[in-house]
Structure 1
Amino acid sequence: MAVEDGKKQLLHLVFGGELKTLGETEFRDLDALDIVGIYPDYQSALTVWKAKAQASVDNAHMRYFVVHLHRFLDPEKKTAG
């Protein structure tokens, strides 16, 4: 996925896995994490996150997350998204 419309590339990671307990973010099996992908902007990541979350709605312990990688790559900059 390339950003061709001149917008700044703000990388986002989408991943998920089964939690040990509800209400916490400790995973049951790190080897079984679903690394969905890295996306060039928040909107793309959110679209994929929604699809994965909806597909796993029958498993209450399954959770998907969007990580703002661009904030880790350049922590001094304040950016939206």
Structure 2
Amino acid sequence: MSKAKKAEPKQQLLHLVVGGELEKGEDIIFKDLDSVDLVGLYPNYAAAHAVWKQKAQLTVDNAEMRYFVVHLHRLLNPDEDGE
């Protein structure tokens, strides 16, 4: 009888979605850090991008409001490759 191999856990590529009103369109300087929208933490880029797109579409009428996807996995493990 052969033993089934355990599947290795898939690597998490953590992404953070964050947004808020910026002081100027060219620079990423938030007007008020207390009102920055920390949307959430996601296990991959696809999930983060879907939420980013939804939040960006909800605020399309506010030219100063911007949302971003932050690649946390690159900050946590800068030597590793990943999406």
Residue 47 of structure 1 pairs with residue 35 of structure 2? no
User: Which of 31, 36, 42 is matched with 2:34 structurally?
Assistant: 31
- Gap runs ≥5 in structure 1: 1-5
> Equivalent pairs: percent with the same residue?
59
The equivalent residue for 2:73 is: 70
Aligned mates of 1:34, 1:70 — CA distance in 2: 20
Aligned to 1:8: 11
Q: Distance in 2 between matches of 1:78 and 1:15?
A: 23
Deviates more, 1:19-28 or 1:45-54: 19-28
For the residue of structure 2 that corresponds to 1:38, the secondary structure is strand
TM-score (norm 1): 0.88
Report how far residue 24 of structure 1 moved.
1.0
For residues 28-67 of structure 1, what are the alpha-carbon distances to aligned partners after superposition, in whole Å with 9 as ceiling and x for unaligned? 0000000000000000000000000000001000000000
Task: State the TM-score, normalized to the length of structure 2.
Answer: 0.86
Aligned-pair distance for 1:7?
Answer: 3.5
